[in-house]
Amino acid sequence: MIDPWSSESLNHKIIEKFGVRPFKEVIGEIKDPHWLMRRGVIFGQRDYNKILKAMKNKEDFAIVTGMMPSGKMHIGHKMIIDQLIWYEKKGAEIFIPIADMEAYSTRNKSFEESKKIAIEEYLANYLALGLDITKDSINVYLQSENLVVEDLAYILSKKVNFSELRAIYGFDESTSIAQTYIPIIQAADILHPQLDEFGGPKPVLVPVGPDQDPHIRLSRDLASRFKKEYSFILPSSTYHKFMSGITGGKMSSSKPNDAIFLTDPPKVVENKIMQAKTGGRETLEDQRKYGGSPKDCVVYEILIYHVEDDKKVKDIYEKCKNGEIICGECKKIVAEHMKKLIIDIGKKREKMVEKAARVLEESNG
């Protein structure tokens, strides 16, 4: 019932062409699937059985999910943190690389700037959202300060050549050497939890959007090429749909009027939601008669991503389909919910900046 929107082309492409399997093939094996799994937001997976087995048998496994400290955190980013909280409860060790080397080589951000953004904009929000990055099971680090990752990247780079990177990423003569090195650093981020100093080979899961799949494929290829030296297990991955922006495209920090930021004042959040694209009918009369179309509605999508209670989501879905609710009313309900969430995160975030800075100082090695 709840699989409401349709920008599926990239999603289908990776399922058809690159051996990604539908997530619904494995969801039955999970006792209490996350709401993003139940609702089809997480739609694809590769080798998820290894993760299932580790969770079931209480064996070691890890999650790696990086962040690029280049802009503001919006509500679309929140879904990664929601997943991390779920996996942490299942016993995962979590690795959060901060991609300051990538921000330096592709976005012209200085390392100091990246560190500041990572602390104030991302890590403080992670803490406010309930991910306790002070725990021993969570490793946050700056790529530029993690010598283990940098050394592994150098070793991995021995078995990658420029033609391969050009074929995967479209690099050409004008691409800087720093930029060509980024995919290798990311592969090292993904594979380093399997080094002896982190407990040796283990299943590793990387939750990504479909656009990140080239990194996953390269990391898996490198895991195979270095199997003899490190006994790497090929990393697993899941694929999630991106949240839509207010007017319907992909939500992005580079389109500030189209994204809802975790730092937006509540009134701004409300205004953005009141302007969102809906699946409502042209006239009130038609809406009452034929009902709306939640699958084409950004407001409904916000519920799908951010309201944990299935009953509330289903209630809006049915009222919309039956014409019992009109878009104005519905937007107000969703705006109230999101304002509360944003106010709550804001209050907590204020107290978290210092803690976030401390975590980063202590965790880099």
Task: Give the interface with ligand SF4 as residue ranges (CB under 6 A).
Answer: 278-280, 292, 294, 297, 299-300, 316, 320, 325, 327, 330-331
Q: How many CB atoms neighbour CB 290 within 10 A?
A: 12
Shortest Cβ distance from residue 333 to ligand SF4 (Å)?
A: 8
| Closest CB to ligand SF4 among residues 232, 300 | 300
Minimum CB–partner distance for residue 282 and ligand SF4 (Å) = 12
H helices of the chain, in order, are 9-17, 24-27, 35-38, 48-57, 78-89, 100-107, 111-117, 124-128, 147-157, 162-169, 177-191, 213-225, 227-230, 266-274, 284-290, 298-306, 310-321, 327-350, 353-363
**CB 100, CB 94: distance < 8 Å:** no
Distance in Å, CB of 339 to ligand SF4, minimum = 16
- If the CB atoms of residues 217 and 277 are measured against ligand SF4, the closer one turns out to be 277
Cβ of residue 300: shortest distance to ligand SF4, in angstroms? 4
Shorter beta-carbon distance to ligand SF4: residue 127 or 299: 299
| Comparison of 97 and 279: residue with beta carbon closer to ligand SF4 | 279
Is 116 in contact with 151 (CB distance < 8 Å)? no
**Cβ closer to ligand SF4: 189 or 301?**
301
We find the least distance from the C-beta atom of residue 31 to ligand SF4, in angstroms, to be 30
Please name which of 84, 87, 92, 63 lies closest in space to residue 235, comparing C-alpha atoms: 63
Distance CA 64, CA 82 (A): 14
